[in-house]
Structure 1
Amino acid sequence: MKKIIKIFLGILSVLIIVFGSYLIYLFASYDRLPDGIALDPKNTQKQSLKINKKYRAMSHNIGYGAYPPSYSFFMDGGDYSRAYDKKTVKENMAGIVQSTKDLAPTFAFYQEVDQNGDRSQHVDEVAFLKEHLAAYNSLYGQNYDSAYLFYPFTDPIGQAKSGLVTLSQAEITSSKRYSLPIETNFNKFFDLDRAFTVSRVPVQNGHEFIAINTHLSAFTKDRSIQAAQLNKIFSVMENEYKKGNYVMVAGDYNHDVLGNSPDVFNTSKKRETWTHPFPKDQLPSGFHLPTGNLDAERRPSARALDKPYKKGESYTTLIDGFLVSDNITVNDVHVKDMQFKYSDHNPVYLDFSLK
């Protein structure tokens, strides 16, 4: 009996040491990028924007290339933590590139683009977009560079370096990355770091088009964090608008853009933390969130990942879109219904002109 107890205590001691060492590693390796760092846009063309000319913007959370319709994700209650294999990631990325070419946007805003990650089978998706959409000027801003997350234990999601990619047919003269408020407790290791990029594009009338790309927190249960994230973006928007600039924010807000998506998409499922109504009434003066006929078209931009996608059965909503200043004329806004073929998000696109 004493021998059994000794063996048990020995195993328990090893587990405690391993777990304690892992916690030390998590906290020691955690580091946020400084706020307001300058980024390095890559320009292949130098054209500026014109007033009263029609342009198109597209926003697409590409889900780091891991999510075909058959995929479900463990943090939503599904089965997987990593992409099936490298081939699947590359096929999804190729489909995302083709859908971009089909829409032919002037500006393309991508979220959840892995530069390197176990979950995305170490495909450099930033380089993939730049290579296959080489006619665009490009910008990459890192969201996070996470430590190795040993969860779930049977198939850990691992390490990921991921961020935001902005493509532009016009010159990006400069850009900065701004950190967003996040939770400071243990949840920061699961919802990871958050940021937004602010890119400056010249307009021929002497002003600038301010292109902001963001991806707000999804899994935080502290709604004050989501409010603080929006408030920081709102502050930048307002300051640029007061300078006479044109301002557009594109991204995955993890908020219900329509405000009544459960009714529109006929779902009785309770709201998730990432589907609270977007606080349109708190937008700075001079801004709006265009929705056009999105409610009538009933094309969702995101699906739940608790199970494989089945049209008419899966939980869907609309959490992606654009915020625009009133000196931008919005002609149309639509969701391109891809049936979630290459990502758990469908691209949203907007046709606009500058006044």
Structure 2
Amino acid sequence: MKTILKILGSLFGLILIAAVALVAWLSLREFRPEAEEFVEIKGSGNSLLQAGDSLSLVTCNIGYGGLDAEHDFFMDGGTDVRVESKEIIERNMKGIRELLEEADGDIYFLQEVDIDSKRSYGVQEAEYLLEGLEGSAVFAANFLCDYVPYPFPTIGRVHSGILTVNPYQAESAVRIALPTSFSWPMRVCQLKRCLLVERVPLEGSDKELVLVNLHLDAYDDGTGREMQTKQLVEFLNAEYEKGNYCIAGGDFNQTFSNVDPSLYPVQDRENFSPGLVEASDFGEGWQLANDPSTPTCRLLNQPYHPEDPKTQYYVLDGFLLSPNVTLNEVQTIDGEFRYTDHNPVKITVTLEK
């Protein structure tokens, strides 16, 4: 009996040492981006913009190609950590690219795009998407970790972020870090959220079109989303005061004040509880652009069953427009959640003279 206890004690000691070593290693290797970092613009847009022009934008959270209709996700109350094979990722990415091509936007704001992650079997998703979309590309990492040690099987290595594809000639692109409510050691393996800001000069003017691609916190207590939204408000208002045109879009992980909450009532807040984006917080004339006739997101508590009463829908994706940008049309494109847990949202706008 003493021998067994000694063996068990030794095993426990080894496990403890390994766990401490892993936390120490991940802490040393933690992704710590600067408050602002310039991002390389790959390729070049050929088109020019000027005041009075109209353009279209599409936003879509592609769920790294691993959150299709046949799967759930452990953070939403499901059981899946990743899909069973690389072939499923490749099938989903093909479907997502076709969906985006059919949306036929000028500018694309994409979220949860993997560069090299275990969960997506190392598929270079940004490169794949760019084969079907026209324009320059800017990518900002928001989830970079050598090894995410939970749950089992583990998530493992993650390199993921947000991608903007833009056919217009851009002057610069910057990654702006957003605050987080997570503290050490949980912070080490969490996403480091950001705004991906691209500036497009307007021909014959000293003004710019400021494009902001975003993906705000999801699984926090709401504090992170509040801080991140406040920073977004401050940034956009500062740009608008300069006379610039501002379009922010992406996955807010929040519902919107202009959408009737009874359309998609939240049945269970245990796994995911969205916040609320108030248009009034941004100031007079700012406009939220979304189409609630079709949900933009589903909860991944189970594989997709459109008729199941446990299927939870949300409107979490859309755009925010400064007062000098006129909204002409907005549409949620119904992809039936076949390849990702989000539907694309497309807007057509005009930059007022």
What SS is found at the alignment partner of 2:209? strand
Query: What does 1:131-142 correspond to in 2, within 5 Å?
Result: 131-133=131-133, 135-142=134-141
CA contact (8 A) 2:75 2:271 kept: no
Q: Please state whether the residue corresponding to 1:4 is helix, strand or coil.
A: helix
Q: Deviations over 1:180-203 (max 9, x none)?
A: 101223332454211111101122
Bigger shift: residues 66-75 or 251-260: 251-260
* Residue matched to 2:154: 156
The residue aligned with 1:66 is 66
User: Residues 280-295 of structure 1 correspond to what in structure 2 (within 5 A)?
Assistant: 280-291=279-290, 294-295=291-292
Aligned partners of 1:82 and 1:121 also within 8 Å: no
Structure 1 position 28 matched with structure 2 position 28: yes
Question: Does structure 1 residue 312 correspond to structure 2 residue 307?
Answer: yes
Amino acid at match of 1:224: T
8 Å contact 2:148–2:158 — kept in the other structure?
A: no
Q: CA deviation at 1:259?
A: 6.2
**Contact kept in structure 2, 1:261 and 1:318, CA below 8 Å:** no
Residue number in structure 2 paired with 1:331: 328
Equivalences for 1:127-206 in 2 at 5 Å? 127-133=127-133, 135-153=134-152, 155-182=153-180, 183-206=182-205
**d(CA) in 2 for partners of 1:187, 1:15:** 19
Distance 2:121 2:229 in 1: 32
Q: Which amino acid aligns with 1:353?
A: T
Deviations 1:236-272 (A, max 9, x none): 2111111111100011001012565651025533476
Between the aligned residues of both structures, percent identity stands at: 29
| Equivalent residue number for residue 5 of structure 2 | 5
Any idea what the Cα deviations from partners look like across 1:292-350, whole Å, max 9, x if unmatched?
xx33x2x1111111100111331110101001101111011111011111111010111
Report the count of equivalent residues: 348
SS in 1 for 2:156: coil
Retained in 2: the 8 A contact 1:198–1:213?
A: yes
Could you say what the CA RMSD is over the residues aligned between the two structures, in angstroms?
Answer: 1.8
- Secondary structure class of the residue paired with 2:12: helix
CA gap of 1:187–1:256, structure 2 versus 1, over 3 A, is: farther
Query: TM-score with structure 1 length normalisation?
Result: 0.93
Q: CA deviation at 1:164?
A: 0.9
Shift of 1:81: 1.1
CA–CA separation in structure 1 for the residues paired with 2:269 and 2:140: 33
Q: Structure 2 CA distance, aligned partners of 1:200 and 1:16?
A: 49
Residues in 2 aligned to 1:55 and 1:348: alpha-carbon distance in whole angstroms: 14
Q: How does 1:103-118 map to 2 (within 5 A)?
A: 103-118=103-118
Aligned 8 A contact 1:259 1:277 in 2? no
TM-score by length of structure 2 reads 0.93
| Distance of aligned partners of 1:283 and 1:10 in 2 relative to their CA distance in 1, 3 Å threshold | same
Listed as ranges, the gaps of 5+ residues in structure 2 are none
Q: Secondary structure at the match of 2:161?
A: strand
Q: CA deviation at 1:96?
A: 1.5
